Amino acid sequence: MTQPVDSRANYCYRHPDRQSYVLCQRCGRTICGECQTPAAVGVVCPECMAQQRATHPRTKPAWLTRLTGSGAPVVTYTIIAICVVVFLVKVLGDLVGIPVNGVLQYAGAYSYPAAVSGAFEPWRMFTSIFAHANILHLLLNMYTLWVFGSALEPLLGRARYLALFLISGFAGSLGVLLIAPPLVPVVGASGAIFGLFGAYFVIQRRLGGNATQMLVLLAINLGIGFLPNFNIAWQAHVGGLIGGVLVGLIYVETRQPQRRRWQLPLLVLLCVIFVALSFVHFFV
């Protein structure tokens, strides 16, 4: 048997003092054992492996794919995360004497002219949606939001679902403004969640689904708000429910391609009406 010729070509290109007779399957350069990376066929050098990794399509971890996939209720998860973070900040604030909910809560008086209430802060009609009074309040609302959000968000799409949630939440605060005593503050996502109730009920009925169980569940949850000593802002429930029903009607009536162009203008018109109603106390 003849011995291989001892030439510079038989030495690792990265370690010239190491003799080798193994070639990179991509570039053909000689590589020693330390520089070899197993490939589908043969081995490759470090530079070729780096180039292969750079051009290879990136894949997401399985858990991230489940959370952010095309059918995942990302908006629902985000809203839940915001509510949880706000509650944790509220708990920490209570420990150091900072009333976080006092900054976020809403009462009708915050929509009065400053000369009447001393504070004109209408943005609280949104901020109060993400604040909760206690852990039970948070858990009940977030569980309900997760149940209905997981069903509605993939059905409507993320943008329409977010619009439904925010409009319903504002409508809930509007119900507090128009019906509740002006100095009684409220917090919670209940108004927005009742909007999800209302929209889901309308969509089920219009698309031919069985909405009987939904109607019973809606009646029970709405009725609980009227029980004495429960300290539940039923006004927010009623306002959010009405807002959700109206948004749901817009969605189902404009689902046909030839009517789709009317969907956004109708949503904008509804928002304009709600905002106009929120300023009713300026004119009465």
Cite the residue boundaries of each domain of the chain with CATH code 1.20.1540.10: 72-282
Sign of the Cα pseudo-torsion (25, 27, 33, 36, in order): negative
Q: How many residues does the chain have?
A: 284
Could you please report the per-residue DSSP string of the chain? -PPPP--GGGB-SS-TTSB---B-TTT--B--GGG-EE-SSSEE-HHHHHHHHHHSPP---HHHHHHHSTTS-HHHHHHHHHHHHHHHHHHHHHHHT--HHHHH-B-GGGGS-HHHHS---TTHHHHGGG--SSHHHHHHHHHHHHHHHHHHHHHH-HHHHHHHHHHHHHHHHHHHHHHS-TT--B-SSHHHHHHHHHHHHHHHHHTT---HHHHHHHHHHHHHTTSTTS---HHHHHHHHHHHHHHHHHHHHT-SGGGGGGHHHHHHHHHHHHHHHHTGGG--
Query: In degrees, to the nearest 5, what angle opens at C-alpha 76 toward C-alphas 105 and 208?
Result: 115
Average pLDDT over the chain, rounded to whole? Answer: 84
- Over residues 16-36, the mean pLDDT reads 86
Confidence of residue 38 (pLDDT cuts 50, 70, 90): confident
Q: Which residues contact 177 (CB under 8 A, 6 or more apart)?
A: 108, 111, 125, 278, 281
- pLDDT at residue 219, rounded to an integer: 72
Rounded-to-integer distance, Cα 142 and Cα 80, Å? 6
- pLDDT at residue 145, rounded to an integer: 92
- pLDDT at residue 215, rounded to an integer: 67
- pLDDT at residue 88, rounded to an integer: 96
- pLDDT at residue 91, rounded to an integer: 95
Q: How far apart are the first and last CA of the chain?
A: 109
Could you confirm whether 190 is annotated as catalytic? yes
Question: What's the pLDDT tens digit per position in 46-59?
Answer: 888 888 877 766 55
* Residue labelled with tokens 């009623």: 238
Q: What is the pTM of this model?
A: 0.73
pLDDT at 5 over 60: no
- From the centroid of its chain, how far is CA 271? 21
Could you confirm whether 173 is annotated as catalytic? no
Question: What's the pLDDT tens digit per position in 106-137?
Answer: 998 888 766 555 678 889 999 999 999 899 88
Of the residues 111, 168, 237, 278, which is catalytic? 237
- pLDDT at residue 183, rounded to an integer: 86
Token pair for 224: 């609980």
- pLDDT at residue 210, rounded to an integer: 63
Q: Which fold has domain 72-282?
A: Rhomboid-like fold (1.20.1540)
**Of all residues in the chain, what percent carry a pLDDT higher than 70?**
80
